[in-house]
Structure 1
């Protein structure tokens, strides 16, 4: 049966942006106003404080990994930094290594930080299924993967882009499944942690072309129709049919972008009996007919 988490990460199409090693000494603070880029940080030594927007600060310690799938306003600071401390200007120690705070004192923290990109035209929809912040503690596999990403991003070896894409996919999957569970916010991770809802999610991902109904999915989950509908909406954050529609349209966008199938074939691969029915649904959902969408993506 299909693994929804692997499929979502695969459709996101992560690619490398950049990574760097950041040392902190004394009191320091750095703020960023990003445009929704995915940001990650692996704390190698020491500690720091991460703040997303107006949310409560998160204490980061050595061995922690954080991933913000769509970063906007956030800041990182030393534990000794007061609220009025201005942003620190980084000092370049050597290529790829930066110092925040005291440029001469011994470092009290070391972190590997970086950004990646999601090439998927449907990234916003897919990211809406994921938590705003993933914070993992004590997972050595994640730190190893971050170091591999950094090493590969600085090398000029053959196949670099393919290797980086695969490493980033594994990094995302490891971070996501390390934070999955009933305490996760509404979305895909919480849905996969619910034994009844997970059955329905896997059925939809395994057979997106099937003419699913709420009643059929409820039977697969061994729940009554009303109990399943309420549980799915509470756990995932959308109704079962809305989730199915979004997933089908994400698959259709990917097929159209890659130009690997004609309109009728795309329609069949995402569960529509005719090209005209699919075109109507696609235009209503996306705002463009499939052909116009494919041409716009090809011109980018």
Structure 2
């Protein structure tokens, strides 16, 4: 069975949007607003500053990797950024997927690999909420190699290109998140998985979503008292154990519905409900619409 991190990344269905190589010189500032899609960046040479809206600037140097699962607004600038009064820099395309920013008369001060992708899962926001807002890893040799492979594959038109890119992105995301587990900061799945006891319970939820889990059962799996488990899980993951169970059940249910190969009764059984009506009630309460309407909208979206 898939581990929790792999299963969430797989259900997110990452798809390559675009990637590019950026060379920069002098003072420069690139601003992105309201993208809403995953963004990742590797610094091959030089340095720069990265600022996610609402956070303090991060100094990135050679070998650094940054991933933002849902990048609504961020700024990338030279280490000595231009004044606030100066206009943002417009990247100039110099070759296929290669851009220059800054001042042409100055020496290069940054060589970046930048990529954007999309999560095709319609419930991606729910799954992304379990992940950290920002992943910053230093000396990210393995991740740099993966980003290079993504860019190389995106520039080709070889058979199987889309499938290869999707798998590469899955590996890239899993590698980034599991590396981040060594230094978790805010509540979420990674913090839960970093806790040895909680990780056992989380894996059980993902390995057998058909099980009618209770807090008592999960606490027993984690070898903790009910109250200790409940408090520890809620603090680490950012939601109660049963909220997590239902979130995961509904994510799996949506995936099964989109496949259109299972009856409602089979899906209900697979995600831990004793009848199709009980599943329909839970699905409607959680998503705001019955399974039949979700399936209809999914069909219309796929035919557009």
Range into which the TM-score falls when normalised by the shorter chain: over 0.9
**Is residue 181–residue 190 contact of structure 1 (8 Å, CA) maintained in 2?**
no
Give per-residue Cα distances to partners, 1:146-196, cap 9 Å, x unaligned: 000001001000000000000000000000001013633111001000011
Change (3 A) 1:213 1:270: same
2:55 aligned with 1:55: yes
Residue 75 of structure 1: aligned partner = 75
**By how many angstroms is 1:261 displaced?**
1.0
1:199 is matched with which residue? 200
**Matched residue of 2:51: which SS?**
strand
User: Does the Cα contact within 8 Å between 1:15 and 1:117 map onto a contact in 2?
Assistant: yes
Partner Cα separation in structure 2 for residue 193 and residue 231 of structure 1: 12
Q: Which residue of 1 aligns with 2:33?
A: 33
Aligned to 1:123: 124
**Equivalent residues in 2 for 1:1-300, closer than 5 Å:** 2-84=2-84, 85-181=86-182, 183-300=184-301
Which stretch has the larger CA shift, 235-244 or 52-61? 52-61
Aligned residues: 300
Aligned-partner Cα distance in 1 for 2:184–2:277: 42
Q: Unaligned 5+ residue runs, structure 1?
A: none
Structure 1 position 86, deviation (Å):
2.2
CA contact (8 A) 1:91 1:103 kept: no
199-208 vs 83-92, which moves further: 83-92
Structure-1-length-normalised TM-score: 0.98
Task: Provide the alpha-carbon RMSD of the alignment.
Answer: 1.1
Alpha-carbon distance in structure 2 between the residues aligned to 1:2 and 1:241: 20
CA contact (8 A) 2:27 2:78 kept: yes
Cα offset, 1:54, TM superposition: 2.6
Whole-angstrom CA distance in 1 between matches of 2:126 and 2:51: 24
Residues 167 and 2 (structure 1), Cα distance of their counterparts in 2 relative to 1, 3 Å cut: closer
> Which residues of structure 2 form unaligned runs of 5+?
none
State the Cα deviation string for residues 203-228 of structure 1 (Å, max 9, x = none).
11111111111111111111110000
- CA shift digits 1:17-64 (9 cap, x unpaired): 000001110000111103311111011000000011131001111101
Q: Distance in 1 between matches of 2:276 and 2:299?
A: 20
Of 118-127 and 88-97, deviating more is 88-97
Contact 2:184/2:190, CA 8 A, preserved across alignment: no
Q: How many angstroms apart in 2 are the aligned matches of 1:3 and 1:227? A: 24
The answer to whether the Cα contact below 8 Å between 2:265 and 2:275 also exists between their aligned partners in 1 is yes
1:95 Cα deviation after fit: 1.8
| Corresponding residue SS for 1:215 | helix
